[in-house]
């Protein structure tokens, strides 16, 4: 019995050491290269640290969402990308995700997950060809998504709301 | 498509995660065997099979449970995010992903040269063999020697050949094949032990598990951890059949004696003029090392040790592997 308990203890220590080693391995690349994806306290900090020239921010913002972004993630390697997450002040739920990236396949809006896309249409967004999608999210609430290319950058907005409010936000990001 | 974008596609992510998951599973499984001082080859094999089975299924399984696992926010909180390494460029020029690809390709080449080609060659050679296999006659001494084995006997076939060879086939008509060279070189007890070992293979091979394990191993041709662990699984399989043979005959020394006579005595040096010869010498040497290890084990009497079912240890190891790998993306 004593041997068995010692075995469990020894195994638990091994697992703990392995977890520690994995954490160090995970931290190491960020120490070597500052440009991989990480959290930033502000949009200004992203521009200053990564040198991303244009960060697309809406000038129209509904009162139901909190400003500044609750979370900002950005990277300049392996490609430029910025993700801003906005939450509803009343319940702290993620309600809007704005992302821009140099690669079109980059889709960081998993927190606003569509369960059903009911409509998918091309939309003329201030002269740009955008793709507008409407549907429902996990809790059956209405969700919408819009994406378009702007000077080689794919911009993508996903929101827990009908498309009308989303389009207003998207239009306010363009001159 | 550049390299880093391949590692962001579904097959790319699957390969990366299977690679990493097999590495952590190997560390955990080996430490588990060490921590509990597991000596039973049956329990050791069970624990090691985690390394073959889990990594190939873990990525699709985890994604099914939690599709958000591939999101950036999950990756930021993960224990290990492979993207951080794969997108890294040393001195701003050399992508780390190149080294990773070299490792995958080298492992695949090793698998091809050391496992797949020898199997294909062996299959081709056995098809070309001109040996004539016959049932032993009524008065054959083999019948006298094997007749008292306390198990259901499969078909026995004998061929006239000076090389000492024994092997078995499974399936609907399982059989043990012996050459006269083997019968002449082994004592009756040793012959009984060798045949009992083959009978153990036949009994165990009725289970399709090992075939499925090999299929999974082939699918993970790129993973060095799987390569190493599969060899250990095969080694454990031999030891399990050794234990079974000892259980049938009650004579570990006889099996050790038979193995000693069957091992390649000339395989201590790697010599050869061309790569193919060198390769065969390496194969012989590794085969010989395995047999010597089994002889040592039988001589020490490890085969007789009882150790319980080990299911709790297996469950703890599996749980640790599944939990840690969930946070490796």
How far apart are the C-alpha atoms of A6 and A8, rounded to whole Å? 5
* Percent of chain B residues topping a pLDDT of 70: 92
Alpha helices, DSSP H, located in B66-186 = 72-77, 82-86, 96-111, 117-128, 141-146, 180-185
Interfacial A residues in 70-109 facing B (CB < 8 Å):
71, 73, 77-78, 83, 103, 105, 108
Q: A141 or B25, which is more confident?
A: B25
User: Is pLDDT of A100 > 60?
Assistant: yes
Average pLDDT for B7-28: 93
Contact check, Cβ <8 Å, A108/B71? yes
B311-326 and B10-35 helices, crossing angle to 10°: 140
Provide the residue ranges of all domains of chain B, joining segments of one domain with +: 3-326
* Contact status of A1 with chain B (Cβ, < 8 Å): no
Q: Give the E-state strand segments of chain B in sequence order.
A: 89-90, 94-95, 155-159, 166-169, 175-179
Give the pLDDT of residue B303: 65
Contact check, Cβ <8 Å, B84/A26? yes
Residues A124-136: pLDDT tens digits? 999 899 999 999 9
Contact check, Cβ <8 Å, B35/A7? yes
User: Is pLDDT of A145 > 50?
Assistant: yes
Question: Chain A residues with CB inside 8 Å of B84's CB?
Answer: 26, 29-30, 36-37
Question: Chain B residues with CB inside 8 Å of A29's CB?
Answer: 84-85, 88
User: Is pLDDT of B283 > 80?
Assistant: no
Average pLDDT for A109-120: 85
pTM: 0.82
For residue A76, say if its preceding peptide bond is cis, omega within 30 degrees of 0: no
Contact check, Cβ <8 Å, A19/B27? no
Q: List the end-to-end C-alpha distance of chain B, in Å, as a whole number.
A: 22
Give the pLDDT of residue A3: 75
User: Is pLDDT of A97 > 80?
Assistant: yes
Give the pLDDT of residue B209: 78
Structure-token pair, residue A48: 């200053």
Question: Chain A residues with CB inside 8 Å of B87's CB?
Answer: 36, 77-78
Give the pLDDT of residue B266: 44
């Amino acid at each position: 019995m004593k041997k068995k308990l010692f075995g469990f203890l020894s195994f638990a220590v091994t697992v703990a050491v392995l977890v520690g080693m994995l954490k160090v391995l995970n931290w190491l690349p960020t120490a070597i290269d500052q440009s991989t994806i990480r959290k930033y306290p502000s949009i200004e900090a992203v521009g200053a640290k990564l040198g991303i020239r244009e960060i697309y921010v809406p000038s129209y913002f509904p009162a139901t969402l909190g400003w500044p972004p609750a979370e900002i993630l950005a990277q300049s390697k392996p490609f430029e990308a910025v993700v801003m997450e906005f939450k509803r002040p009343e319940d702290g739920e993620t309600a809007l995700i704005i992302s821009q990236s140099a690669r079109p396949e980059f889709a960081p809006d998993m927190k606003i997950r569509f369960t059903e896309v009911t409509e998918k249409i091309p939309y003329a967004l201030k002269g740009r060809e955008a793709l507008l999608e409407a549907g429902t999210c996990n809790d059956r609430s209405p969700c919408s998504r819009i994406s378009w290319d702007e000077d080689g950058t794919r911009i993508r907005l996903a929101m827990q709301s009908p498309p009308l409010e989303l389009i207003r936000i998207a239009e306010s990001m363009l001159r | 498509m550049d390299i880093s974008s391949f590692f962001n596609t579904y097959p790319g992510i699957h390969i990366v995660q299977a690679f990493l998951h097999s590495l952590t599973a190997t560390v955990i499984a080996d430490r588990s065997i060490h921590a509990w001082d597991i000596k039973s080859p049956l329990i050791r094999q069970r624990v090691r099979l985690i390394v073959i089975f889990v990594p190939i299924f873990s990525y699709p399984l985890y994604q099914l449970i939690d599709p958000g696992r591939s999101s950036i926010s999950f990756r930021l909180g993960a224990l290990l995010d492979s993207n951080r390494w794969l997108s890294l460029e040393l001195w701003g020029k050399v992508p780390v992903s190149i080294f990773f690809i070299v490792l995958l390709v080298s492992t695949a080449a090793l698998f091809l040269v050391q496992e797949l080609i020898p199997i294909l060659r062996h299959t081709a050679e056995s098809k070309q063999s001109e040996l004539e296999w016959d049932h032993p006659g009524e008065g054959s001494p083999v019948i006298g020697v094997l007749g008292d084995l306390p198990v259901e006997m499969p078909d026995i076939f004998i061929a006239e050949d000076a090389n000492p060879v024994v092997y078995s086939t499974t399936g609907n008509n399982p059989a043990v094949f012996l050459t006269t060279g083997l019968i002449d070189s082994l004592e009756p007890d040793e012959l009984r032990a060798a045949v009992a070992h083959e009978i153990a293979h036949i009994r165990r091979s009725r289970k399709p598990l090992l075939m499925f394990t090999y299929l999974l191993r082939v699918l993970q041709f790129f993973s060095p951890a799987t390569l190493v662990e599969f060899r250990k699984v095969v080694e454990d399989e031999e030891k399990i059949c050794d234990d079974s043979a000892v259980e049938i005959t009650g004579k570990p020394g006889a099996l050790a004696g038979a193995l000693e006579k069957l091992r390649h005595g000339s395989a201590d040096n790697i010599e050869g003029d061309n790569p193919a010869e060198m390769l065969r010498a390496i194969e012989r040497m590794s085969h010989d090392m395995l047999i010597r290890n089994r002889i040592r084990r039988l001589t020490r009497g490890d085969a007789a040790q009882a150790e319980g079912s080990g299911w709790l240890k297996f469950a703890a190891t599996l749980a640790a592997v599944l939990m840690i790998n969930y946070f490796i993306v």
